[in-house]
Every structure is written in C-alpha cells, then in structure tokens.
A and B are shown apart, each in its own frame.
Chain A
Amino acid sequence: MHSCNLDIEINKLSKIEGHADLDIRIRNGKLEEVTLKVMENVRFFNQAVQGKSFASVPQLVSRICGTCSIAHLTACIEAVEKTLGVVPSAQTVLLRKLTMYSLMIRDHALHLYFFVLPDLFGIDSILDLADDKKELIHEALHVKEAGNNLSKLVAGRAVHAPYEQVGGFSHEIDPSRVPILISELKKVRPSVLKLMDIFYNCSWKLERKTNFVAIATPDFSFLEGKIKSTSGSVIEEKDYWDHLHNVVLPYSQASGFQFEGKEYMVGALARMNLNKESLHPSTQKDAAKYLAVFPSDNIFHNNLAQAIEILHSLDHSIELLRSGEFKKEEPAKPTRQSGEGVGAIEAPRGTLYYWMAIDEGRVRYLNLVIPTAQNLINMRGDIKKIVEDACASGVFPDELEEKIRREAEKIIRAYDPCMSCASHFLRVNLN
C-alpha cells in the first residue's frame, strides 16, 4: 500500500452517449470521493410538452435521445394509449415488437463494437484494429445495417421513426422487402455468435451484490409484462413509481434513483438475470453455453447479455416477419379525451417509465424515469469499488492513476450509459 494523494479528473468521457465527467479524490492512499457528473444540458421537455396535443407529443419526446429515440417514442405512445383507452390491434403490437428489435440490434451493436471492443483490444478506436482483426469493422457495420434496415422497413427510419404513432402505424410494410430483410437478418447471425463468444471469453470481472430490476416480458419483446426484481418483488407497470425513491446528485444535471430503498441496476444484465427462459427457442439453443453464465453479479456480463439480446432480436424478428400478413389498418381511436396513465417498456439500457396526464386531448403533465438515471447510484458504487481495489493493489502511484482511469472508464462503459437521456428527470409536484 502506498500512501499517496491523487486527484483524477476525466472530462468528457468518450465512447458513451452524451456528456459526463468523472472526478476521483484519493487522500493518503484512500478513496475520499467519487463524483460522476452528468454534464448534458437539460432541455426541459417536462415543461415543453405542457398543453401540446397528445398526438404530437410522442414525436417530440423522441428527441430526448438520438440512439434510443424508438424507446421514448414507444413508451410515450403506450402512456397515451393507456391514458385515453386506445387498444392497439394485434398487428400493431407485432410491428412494435419488430420496431423495438430493430432498435436493440443497432443500438447494442453500436455500443459493443464501437464503444467496448476498443477497450478489449487495448486500442483507442475500432478504426485502429490491427489488420488480422479488421473483419470486425465490417461485421460491426453489417450488424448495425441489418437493424437500421429493419427500422426503415417497419418504422420508416432508425432515428425518430416517423411511422409509429398513437393507435397504429401510418405506413404498411412493403411485402416485397420482407424476404430480402429476412435473409439480411439471417446473414448477420454468425457475426453475432462470434460477438457473444468474444464477450464470453472476456475475463473482466466486477462483482458487488446488488438488486436487478426489469420488466419480464413473456416473449422477451421488451414491451409488456410484470416488473420483477432479483430481491423477489413482482410489480405492475403502473405501480413502479411507488417503489422508487429519487435521489438528488450534487454537481450533476441528472438525479439518481433507489428501488425499495436500495441501489439497483436495470438493463440487459437485469433482463437476462430475471427472464432468460423467455428468449426465442433458436437463441436458447445457439446461446446455451453463454446463457449458463446467468444469473450473474458480474457487471461486465452486461455486454454478453446485450450480445445475446441482439441474437434474440434477430431470431424473433425473422419469425415475426415470416408469420405476418401485414395488411393496411386504420389506427385505433381514443375512447376518452382525459385521464392519467403509465407506459413502461424495456429500453436498451433498462426500464423506461412514462407517467402522463391528459386533459381534453392536451398533455397536462409528464414524468419520466430514465434507465441511465436509475443506474447512476449503482455505477458510482462500482467505480468506488474499482478505485478502492486499485488503491489496495499496491501499484506505484504513477501507475495507479493510469490504472484507475482505465478501469473506471471500462466499468462506466459496461453500463452503456446514455447521458442525453439521464438529464431528463421528473417534476414531482402534481397540480
């Protein structure tokens, strides 16, 4: 043990979504403080939606996040529908599942290939991969493109998808494109199997007992189900807020959350720990070796869980595309113009919750719970553990700083945080 004083500042963490800084303060070889600062400027959507027509608000809140815009769009539409008594058709539900799958494929692929693989290979950027690994760049682009093309086919575009609306989809699927897309999804499957193997063989480990929370959907489609926790709770989506406690984080443009009074984690690892038996049969078959890892307390297994979710998204999408007839439908209509309702879905980074109140067709109130905000306290706990372990490891002070920087960035990336999202938080007063 070396008694050193160290102030480590990381400004603008790279290879994450949005802006965050990290300050670490070590005195006499002991960790004093970890400050994770979400530096994304708030854009005040809570206020901006007030008085807007319910039909226009989903496209507006889609702008909360670039990479998971489809998750915000879908959760907000669900909240409007529950509020106004809109019952979407079976075909609409099927198209929403496909839309969510298209998001998972390209969003997880962006994170795993572009953000995490460089750490795994000890390089700065995927573009710096050595010649014998260069095929991974091609595979990254092809997997992302498969998700991107699925978004285009079903929802019109991967970012701020224009076709998904309250009550249904504004455009039908072009049947002539379906077989082309099925073969594209099948074609990238081997790349995803390889990606799973890479993360299965990764030796990174950080285990710290925590609670995992996720919506357990019966077909792992990220849309509807009971909210479950590894601590044993089973909750209706509409009651989620009653189990959360909002925690103000100093120096940060976002606040954190506790679940039933304790820190917790949401996201792919939580879903895998709570619901792996609901994955598609083809995924269960081909990922059996990797699925045996779960339940896991190793936060780095979030990456493996994301890779498995890409495979599931491909497999279930192929089945749904084969089964659908995709006929033209009129959107389902509201049965009332006022009320309150909750929409909750599993976004790529975890449970996304929308609580909305509408008066005479206009939004009066909106409250969001963002996945990354729910993970902030757990993430800070993990960074603390990494710093404490590094301090106790006996490395020399000049190496210590480098080690902490590297390890802290790795664990933050394992969460796949989205700071653009995290800076949108609730307004608790209801009037």
Chain B
Amino acid sequence: MAEEQVKKRVGIFSLTCDEGCSIYLTEIFNQKLLGWLERADLVYFLSVKNKTDFSGLDIALVEGVVTSQKDKEELEKIRSNARVLIAMGTCAMSALPSGQRNTFTPEQKEEIREHTETYGFLPRALALKEVVKVDDEIPGCPISEEIFIKTFERYLT
C-alpha cells in the first residue's frame, strides 16, 4: 500500500469585498469538494467553520482589497504563515471596486472622510500585490471556475 500523502493545509481568507469569490468557490465545491478533501485540509474558512488555524499554511487563497489598516495587518499575517499566497478575483488583483474611492472627486472624498478616519482606512485602497508578495493570481469577478480548478490543483499536487 502506498504511503499516505501529507495533506496540504489550505486557508481561505476574505479582506474587504462582497465575498463573491468564496461564495462562488462553494459552488465550485458542489462538484469538487469531496475529491479535494482527500488531498487538502481546510484549516481556515470562516464561511464553513469556526475553529481556525493560521499556522503553516501550504496555500492561502485571499479575496478582497486592502482598504483598512486592519486588512493590511491581516494580509501580512497570512503572508508570513503561508508558503504560497494566491490572489483570488478582481478585487484582490486590482483593488476594485473598493478602490473606486481612490478616484473620487474632492467633494466625494470629503463626504466619506469622517467614516474613513473613524474606521482606520488607508489613504488608498490597495491590491494585494501592493502590500505583500503574491505568488499567483486567479482572475474574474467572480473567479473563473476553469482557471481556479486548474491553478488550485496545480498547487495541490
């Protein structure tokens, strides 16, 4: 009997966004989840479980934008615990639509100023790669099903 392969430790994280990619991922799961669980442990995914474990991640899938100081600190923590960090979707890759505020008119910026100051927003909303090293990207809003499966399975083996 072949020796059992050590399962990859996978975390799925949401920064500022609508969580559309992780929701769409739960739809990709309909066909794929049970097969993937033979090769991976989901150690962090708040949509599915409460008990979480950040440490020693083989793959970190991150959706969303770095819009606040808290987002930035969380992303840095994920990066320091992950061997491979994959940016998932348009938000993570381009900072939009949260980054719409980067190009607001001075009047619009004034309208939102009190809120952004109260809640520790950064001067600009940032894509992941503006903050940490990103190893791979999966485009789409939400993520392309085909590219996600291809990319994820490459890191699973």
Contact = CB atoms under 8 A, between A and B. Distances in A.
A12 B24 contact: no
Given A41-B16, A41-B71, A253-B119, A66 B49 contact: no
Contact-residue size bin, chain B (C-beta under 8 Å from the other chain):
35 or more
A55 interface: no
Nearest to A134: B34
Interface string A132-159: 0000011001101100100000000111
A269 B22 CA distance: 27
Contacts, number: 125
B48 A17 contact: no
A69 B18 contact: yes
A42 interface: yes
B26 interface: yes
A41 B19 contact: no
A420 B142 CA distance: 15
Given A43-B97, A47-B108, A148-B27, A15 B46 contact: yes
B97 A63 contact: yes
A15 B48 contact: yes
Nearest to B100: A48
Contacts of B21: 66
A154 to B, nearest CB: 15
B101 A44 contact: yes
A427 B111 CA distance: 10
Contacts of A48: 97, 100-101, 104
Contacts of A66: 17-24, 142
B18 A141 contact: no
Interface in B53-73: 67-68, 71
Which of A65, A115, A124, A127 has the most chain B CB within a 10 Å cutoff? A127
A145 B20 contact: no
- Among A42, A69, A138, the most chain B Cβ lie within 10 Å of the Cβ of A42
Contacts of B23: 66-67, 110, 159
A14 B46 contact: yes
B49 A125 contact: yes
Given A44-B100, A66-B23, A160 B141 contact: yes
B33 interface: yes
A114 B22 CA distance: 13
Given A41-B119, A148-B30, A159-B142, A63 B50 contact: no
Contacts of A14: 46-47, 49-50, 52
Nearest to B42: A127
14 contacts: A14-B49, A14-B52, A15-B50, A41-B67, A43-B98, A47-B104, A66-B18, A110-B23, A114-B48, A144-B27, A145-B30, A148-B30, A158-B27, A159-B20
Given A40-B16, A137-B34, A158-B24, 18 more contacts: A14-B46, A14-B49, A17-B19, A43-B98, A44-B100, A44-B101, A63-B141, A66-B23, A66-B24, A110-B26, A118-B49, A124-B49, A125-B48, A125-B49, A141-B34, A145-B27, A145-B30, A145-B31
